[in-house]
Amino acid sequence: MNPKTEEPKEHWLKRLMDNTWLLLILGVMIPLLSYTLWGWIELLMIPPAPLP
């Protein structure tokens, strides 16, 4: 093989940044999951209300 004809392998981060659909999905799913988890933790930390 001729080294001049071989294309250099793209870095995985460059391939990730070039994939717009993957970035869109990650941009929606990461905040959705993190805020949902944060909400569940907040709900679990609320003390039970005293009954009258």
Mean pLDDT of 1-20: 82
pLDDT at 16 over 90: no
Q: Residues near 34 by Cβ (< 8 Å), separated by ≥ 6?
A: none
pLDDT at 13 over 60: yes
At 17-46, the pLDDT tens digits run 999 999 999 999 999 999 999 999 999 999
CB 36 within 8 A of CB 42: no
Token pair, residue 16, equals 């990730």
pLDDT on residue 2: 61
pLDDT on residue 31: 97
Q: From CA 5, how far away is CA 25, in angstroms rounded?
A: 35
